Amino acid sequence: MVLRNYHFPSLVLFTCIVTGLSSLKAQAPRRPFPQHVVYGPGIIRPGHISQQEMDDSVRAFYQVWKKHYIRVGCGEEQNYVWFEGPDKQKQSVSEGQGYGMLIVALMAGADPSARKVYDGLFRYYRAHPSKADPHLMSWAQKKNCRDVDGTSATDGDLDIAYSLLLADAQWGSNGPIHYLEEARATIAAIQKEEINQRTFSILLSNSVEHDSRDYFDTRSSDFMPAHFRAFRAVSGDPRWDKVIDNTYRLFAFMQQSYSPEAGLVPDFINHISISEEPAGLGSSNPEPPARQTASPGNVHAVPARPRYLESRYDGMYNYNACRVPWRIATDLILNGDQRAAAILEKINRWIRGTTQDNPDNISAGYSLGGVDLKNRDFEALCFITSFAVSAMANRQNQQWLNKLWDYIVRFRSAQFDYYDNSIKMINMIILSGNYWKP
């Protein structure tokens, strides 16, 4: 008897189709843009335009941002975020890589190639490890794809780690990259290498040694409490609670001591001393977020001296600290922590007053007293969009927020560099109600 394989080709075709459909299903994002997240009680969004118009603006700007800043190169299937800055010798920085990985993971659905792009960004990050730990990224690369040095920058590592949690929530970890395992390893490395284990403040880099005077310094914009809550949840490490609690206390102290009217914090903070406080005063464990207040007791610190690290404005509200309202507001938006609300309330009241509710009056930098820095009467989206996210904290800011949205979307990307445009991209996602936690 001869067995005839009349139906074998059909069976192969059917199997291929099923396999292909399963693969597509596995690749499909679980939380595709737009998400239209219901934020916490009292949180507002621009209220003068439709959700569809906001979503369309975000999609359109993403396409421009991606085309301009996502570059292919340096290795097989690697992508990096182009550093379009004054230093023409740099190709990429870990800060920008973190921004890019956040953005692409959140925009999956609007971008059919998001996972491929994200994986390319991941491979570039892993191809440029810090010397101390391979799960932390070397902070910058030159045009020849070589690292500037082998040290990290904490802010870039924090965003990369959080993006890996987003990627796991978006696509799962059954593919070639186990996003969740990578996230856990990166989070552990950050806690070990980039957190002060005495004050639980955030170090500038993994190059800061325990016996260095810089061990008690921090960059204010590295405080990302919503990230740290996610790190706590996935790692089970209670030290992240201390990082959140102590930094809220530090910021409350800085506001009260150095900026009681404007509520601003400087780019860099030096000589941090934080001792334990009685349980229940600002701790993230004894009370739910809605009832928390930050107690600055037993805290001491000072604004950085001029030219401490980057410029003569290191002790002022400059191009690092401009991100603080956005980072803190995200914790209020997603988690409802009222310590964030208290910090933002001062900032919102001051910025609305000093600008007379006119976004065009926002300066690119301020003293801690709230005075415009000289020769800074130009637009800087990293300041403007961060104030917009801060405005989401209270319904009293509705008209101010509406004005800020219109002001932000009218600027073309060519008017700004990667820093402003990347921060604008992330903050437009938040403002439109499409930012979510893993």
Annotated catalytic residues are 95, 155
DSSP track, 97-143: HHHHHHHHHHTBTTBTTHHHHHHHHHHHHHHSB-SS-TTSB-SEEET
Cα distances from 221 to residues 53, 64, 166, 214, in angstroms, run 30, 26, 21, 16
Burial class (CB within 10 angstroms; exposed 0-12, middle 13-18, buried 19+) of 21: exposed
How far is the C-alpha of 417 from the C-alpha of 69, rounded, in Å? 10
- In 10 A of CB 238, how many CB atoms? 10
Cα distances from 98 to residues 122, 155, 159, 160, 377, in angstroms, run 10, 8, 5, 5, 29
Rounded to the nearest 5°, which phi and psi values hold at 433? 85, 25
Tell me the β-bridge partners of 108. Answer: 111
H or E, element range at 8:
helix 8-27
Eight-state DSSP code of residue 162: H
In 280-394, beta strands by DSSP E: 299-303
User: Is the link from the previous residue into 306 a cis peptide, with omega within 30 of 0?
Assistant: no
